[in-house]
Structure 1
Amino acid sequence: MIRSVRLDDETNELLERAARESGESPSEVIRRAIREVSRKRLPKSSGQSVYERFEHLIGSFDSGKGKAAELRRRRTPASESGRVAAEAIAKKFEKRQRARKKRT
């Protein structure tokens, strides 16, 4: 990407001097300076997705609907999680079946 930047005489001299002394092009000096300033001033990204950063909160709050918060609070061991999920799905299925029968 090409970007034009206007420099005053003093800043341009500093850029030219830094480029000569480092053996880098003026563009590389500018890129390096921007990276250094960014590392110091910008918040560090963990490299994680939004989901990964908030995964530990999913299901932690009871919305009053469903069983996700309840299941999360119980901290169900991995060996039981499949069984618990299957039971929850079966209950939901049965509830829907009963509701359909009432409508017909």
Structure 2
Amino acid sequence: MEFSRHGQVLGNLLFELLSEALGLLPDHLKDMDCAKGHLIFCHCYPSCREPELKMGTRSHTDPDFITILFQDHVGGLKVLVQNYWIDMPPIPGALVLNIGDLLQVS
């Protein structure tokens, strides 16, 4: 519950910063109910001794407003840039913020 509460506080702060970065009032995205709810998904992809046999998540976009991602040392995140998948090496202690589909159309 404590983790969830901290996640919600972080999400609210990010929506304020995103609003200001877009030249809007700080509460603009929150007033549109962008921060009304949140979900927590935890995925763990441990290292595989036989990488040719591993399976990961299929190519996708995030169907929400924002996704906050914490990568471990294993990595595996790729970003689609001009029809090419680019590896995103993990940065220790960093959070990755993905802009989701709903925020792109808001």
Asked if Structure 1 and Structure 2 have the same fold, meaning a TM-score greater than 0.5 normalized by the shorter chain, the answer is no
Q: Which has the higher contact order (CA 8 A, sep 6+)?
A: 2
Structure with the largest fraction of strand: 2
Return the index of the structure with the highest Cα Rg.
1
Q: TM-score, normalised by structure 2?
A: 0.19
